[in-house]
Amino acid sequence: MNKIEPSFRPGGKLAKLESVYDGMETFLFTPNTTSRSGVHIHDGNDLKRTMITVVVALIPALLFGMYNIGYQHYLAIGQHETGWFTMFLFGLLALLPVIVVSYAVGLGIEFISAQIHHKEIQEGFLVTGILIPLIVPINTPLWMTAVATAFAVIFAKEVFGGTGMNIFNVALITRAFLFFSYPSRMSGDEAFVKLDSAFGMGGGTVADTFTGATPLGQVATSVGDPAMTDIVGQPISCMDAFIGCIPGSPGETSMVAILIGAIILLLTGIASWRIMCSVFVGGLGMAALVHALPSATYPASMLDPLTQLCLGGFAFGAVFMATDPVTGARTKVGQYIYGLLIGVFAILIRVYNSGYPEGMMLAILLMNAFAPLIDHCVVSSNIKRRAKRAAYKP
C-alpha cells in the first residue's frame, strides 16, 4: 500500500481517488495514529467494528433468506423435494445481483461524495448495503433497486451530511421509494416469489394452484376470517411464520434467524434493548387490542397477537431498523416512547389501513421524523429541572 500511496496524494496522478485510497487503506489496516490531545489511550472499538458487528448479526437472516428464495421457487414449480443445498444455491444466485447492485451504487455514491468533500469514507453504508437486498422483494428489477438506492443515499443521507447525520433510515427510504414509485411491483402475486430461473438455474412450469401473495397480503384482501395459505394453497400456521418458510422479502420471513441477530446485537450492546423490547411490547399490546375488537371490515384484526408479530416485516424492522441509533431516539426515556409508538403504529397501519398490508416501514419512518421531538421533550425536562434548581434559593 505504501508504495502506491504517493500517486493518490494531492498532485499525484490519481489524486481524484484519494478518498477511495484512504478508505481502502483504513479498511485493510487500522492506522497506528496516536492521540495528540486529550486522553492518551482509547478504547479498541470504532465505527467500523460497530458496523461490521451489525452485518454479522444480519448474516443468519441473509442465509435463511437465500434458502427461502430457493424453497419458494422450487415449491412454486412443483419440485419441493429438491435438496436444501440446491435451494440455497438458487437463492444465492438470485440474491447476489441485488447485493452487488446495492453495494456498487451506494458505495459508489459514498466514494464520490467523500472525494468531493475531501473527507474519509465513512462506514454507514456497510450496513445499509446489506439491509437493502433483505427488505426489497426479490422480483424487483435491478435497475429499480439501483435508482432507489441512489435516491436514498443522496437525498436521505448525503444532503444531511453523511453517516451519523441522516434523519431517516436510508434502507427504509430505499424501500419506501420503491413502494411508492412502483407499487405494482412491490406487492401482489408477482413480487415475492422468484419464478424464473437464476443464471440458468431452476425455472419451470408454475403449478396451477400458485398464488404468490404474502400472508399479510392475503389477509388484507380476504373477506371475513382470514385463512392464510402458502403459495401452493396449503394452510400456514404461526409456526411456519416463525421458522420462515413463507413468501416475503428475503430477510424478513424467519423469526428464528432474526432472533439470532437480535441476540448478537443485544449481547454486544450495539442495539438499544430499550427500543427493541418496547417495539415488541407496543406491537403486542396494539395487536391484542385490535384482536379484542375484531371487525370483518378489517380482516387483519382477527389475527391473534403472536401471529401478527411473526408475520411481515415486524420483527425484522424491530430488530434491525428501529434500533438504528442515528435515526432513532437517543435518550433513554425517549427510546421507550419511540419503540412503543413504532410497535403501535405498525399494527395500526397494518390493520386499519387496507391500502398497506404492512405498516412497519411507514411506522419506523414516521417515528424517525418524531424521534428528535421526543428527545427534545426528554432533554427539556432536564433543562427545566436545572432551571428550577437555579431559581430555588433556600
Positions touching another protein (CB under 8 A) are 26-35, 37-50, 52-53, 120, 122-123, 161-165, 267-270, 272, 325-326, 328, 330-332, 335, 375, 379, 382-383, 385-387, 389-390
Of the pair 42, 80, the CB lying nearest another protein is at 42
Q: Show Cβ contacts of residue 385 under 8 Å, excluding neighbours closer than 6 positions.
A: none
Q: Please, what is the minimum distance in Å from the beta carbon of residue 144 to another protein?
A: 29
What gap in Å lies between CA 387 and CA 117, rounded to an integer?
A: 41
Give the DSSP letter string of 68-110. HHHHHHHHHTT-TTS-HHHHHHHHHHHHHHHHHHHHHHHHHHH
For 298, list phi and psi in degrees, rounded to 5: -120, 85
Structural contact between residues 212 and 285, judged by C-beta atoms closer than 8 angstroms: no
Residue among 248, 197, 188, 219 at smallest CA distance from 77: 197
Of the pair 120, 304, the CB lying nearest another protein is at 120
Which residues are bridge partners to 201 per DSSP? Answer: 198
Q: Please, what is the minimum distance in Å from the beta carbon of residue 49 to another protein?
A: 5
Of the pair 124, 305, the CB lying nearest another protein is at 124
Of the pair 13, 40, the CB lying nearest another protein is at 40
Structural contact between residues 278 and 335, judged by C-beta atoms closer than 8 angstroms: yes
Of the pair 53, 368, the CB lying nearest another protein is at 53
Q: Please, what is the minimum distance in Å from the beta carbon of residue 66 to another protein?
A: 23
Q: Please, what is the minimum distance in Å from the beta carbon of residue 123 to another protein?
A: 8
Q: Please, what is the minimum distance in Å from the beta carbon of residue 130 to another protein?
A: 16
Cell of 89: 444455491
Of the pair 295, 381, the CB lying nearest another protein is at 381
Of the pair 118, 386, the CB lying nearest another protein is at 386
Q: Please, what is the minimum distance in Å from the beta carbon of residue 47 to another protein?
A: 5
How big is the CA angle at 195 (ends 189 and 196), to the nearest 5 degrees?
A: 140
What gap in Å lies between CA 136 and CA 261, rounded to an integer?
A: 19
Q: Show Cβ contacts of residue 86 under 8 Å, excluding neighbours closer than 6 positions.
A: 70, 74
Q: Show Cβ contacts of residue 382 under 8 Å, excluding neighbours closer than 6 positions.
A: none
Q: Please, what is the minimum distance in Å from the beta carbon of residue 290 to another protein?
A: 31
Of the pair 143, 392, the CB lying nearest another protein is at 392
DSSP state letter for 158: G
Cell of 176: 419506501
Cell of 203: 425455472
